């Protein structure tokens, strides 16, 4: 199985890292621009940044007050 080189592994993982960044970025932008958050903005920014995958999920599910 060790036939895969470091470079090839990086190439494989790169799109995932991009997706993760995209997700974090989208939720961050939404969080910063939103005027109707459930709780303090700084708390949500921290949750998004520190919670890798679950952070943005929590933000999308609970962060915004539904209208």
Partner 1 sequence: MTQWMVLYRKEWLELIRSSKLIWMPVVFILLGAMQPIMTYMMPDIIANAGNMPEGTIIEIPTPHASEVLAQTLQQFGTLGLLIIALISMGTVSGERMSGTSAMILVKPVAYTSFVTAKWAAIVTITAISFVLGYGAGWYYTAALFDTVAWQDAAGSLLLFGLWLSFIGTLTILFSSLLRSAAAAAFTALGTAALLSIATSLLPKALAWSPGKLAGLASAQLTSGTASGMWPVIGITFVCIIAALAISVWSLRKYPSIEAV
C-alpha torsion 27→31→34→35, nearest 10: 160
Q: Does 66 bind partner 1 (CB under 8 A)?
A: yes
Closer to partner 1 at the Cβ: 20 or 49?
A: 20
Report the C-alpha gap between 44 and 55 in whole angstroms: 8
- Give, rounded to a whole angstrom, the gap between the first and last alpha carbons of the chain: 52
**Per rule CB under 8 A, is residue 28 in the interface with partner 1?**
no
Rounded CA-CA distance 58/43 in Å is: 12
Question: Which of the stretches 32-40, 41-49, 50-58 binds partner 1 when contact is defined by CB under 8 A?
Answer: 50-58
Residues that bind partner 1 (CB under 8 A): 1, 4, 9, 12-13, 16, 19-20, 22-23, 26-27, 30, 53-54, 56-57, 60-61, 66
């Amino acid at each position: 199985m060790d036939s895969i080189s470091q470079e090839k592994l990086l190439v494989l993982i790169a799109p995932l890292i991009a997706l993760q960044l995209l997700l974090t970025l989208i939720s961050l932008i939404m969080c910063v621009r939103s005027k109707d958050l459930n709780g303090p903005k700084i708390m949500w920014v921290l949750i998004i940044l520190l919670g890798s995958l679950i952070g943005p999920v929590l933000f999308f599910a609970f962060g915004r007050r539904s209208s």
